[in-house]
Amino acid sequence: MFPLRRNRRLRTNEAIRSLVRQNFLTPNDFQAPLFIVEGKNKKEEIASMPNYFRFSLDLLQQEVKDLWSLGIKSVLLFVKVDDQLKDNKGIEAVNADGLMQRAIKTVKDAVPEMVVMTDVALDPYSIYGHDGIIENGKVLNDESVKALAQMALSHAQAGADFVAPSDMMDGRILVMRETLETEGFTNTGIMSYSAKFASAFYGPFRDALDSAPVDAKDIPKDKKTYQMDPANRDEAIKETLMDIEEGADIVMVKPGLCYLDIVRDIKNNVNVPISVYQVSGEYAMIKAASEKGWLDHDAVILEQLTAIKRAGADFIATYFAKDAAKLLS
């Protein structure tokens, strides 16, 4: 048909490109992960995540207000737990006056409309750095699920809008949903990390929370017995469908860029919102390359976020939420 068909006619200038553009980013697409630390007037930069910080509760208030002013309407909370509060069962995780519980209340006091989602996993509270309880060198499933359900309930009692289990234990969504329902938290949602892979991209995050698995005898050296094998594709759909059947309101794929095929597969198979987590390693790579002058920092941010949305994400948890919102404004 050439030259009757000239595809470049639709790329002639920005005006026509905008008219036919198929995917758009707005601040509504972003969720900001926030790291919380004990103390006052603390804003600690994370060495492996340049220009990203841990906030004490007093400074968290202003950070949340700044995010809201940029149009970002959801935060995902993580806490750095003091070593003396860690054990093998996550007892501190259900402390009504714990750091996470106070962080939830701080965000809600600062911006009541902000959607607060909370990380539900034992690794920040574990002396072993694992997402579950350890016994005889193994991560126990059912015992861990019981602890995680109580952790989720504690977050709901503190005011969380959604709990976000990131542990990848079998059956935890059903137990959490039943626990929340029994205790009257029928409107508390669950965003499940349904397709969370045993990725090498999580390193900076574990630095941020001091939550890496410890190197000790009889302790699993990694999380491959519960997080998914990066080589597997069909398994991600199975895991996600099971979580939906058990009561998940939102499902997540983690990490982002290397798993866009998984995002599209899940999009084609489910009818609930899909979140994608652009993880710490993805953030660190862009920062490192742009600091060297090898990449255009702002252009790469928007291109990667657009790619994640194009693959099927309804929203994206990203450490670039603030930067991207500013760029789009």
Q: Which residues contact 19 (CB under 8 A, 6 or more apart)?
A: none
Q: What angle, 0 to 180 degrees and rounded to 10, lies between the N-to-C axes of helices 142-158 and 99-110?
A: 30
Residue of 282, 329, 280 lying closest to 303 (CA atoms)? 282
* CA contacts within 13 A on the Cβ side of 311: 25
Q: What angle, 0 to 180 degrees and rounded to 10, lies between the N-to-C axes of helices 99-110 and 57-69?
A: 40
Integer CA distances (angstroms), 215 to 53, 125, 127, 261, 271, in order: 26, 16, 11, 33, 41
SS3 state of residue 23: coil
- 287 an active-site residue? no
Residue 307 buriedness (CB in 10 A; 0-12 / 13-18 / 19+): middle
Q: Which of 86, 223, 254, 322 is catalytic?
A: 254
What does the chain come to in residues? 329
Compute the distance between CA of residue 160 and CA of residue 164 in angstroms, rounded to an integer: 10
Q: Which of 86, 89, 196, 223 is catalytic?
A: 196
Answer for the pair 96, 154: CB distance below 8 angstroms, yes or no. yes
In 145-300 the beta strands, taken as DSSP E runs, fall at 162-165, 189-196, 250-254, 274-278
The encoded tokens of residue 125 equal 């509270």
- 40 an active-site residue? no
Q: What is the DSSP letter of 87?
A: B
The encoded tokens of residue 232 equal 């597997």
Compute the distance between CA of residue 301 and CA of residue 324 in angstroms, rounded to an integer: 7
Which residue blocks in 70-202 are alpha helix, DSSP H? 99-110, 142-158, 172-182
Q: Which residues are catalytic?
A: 196, 254
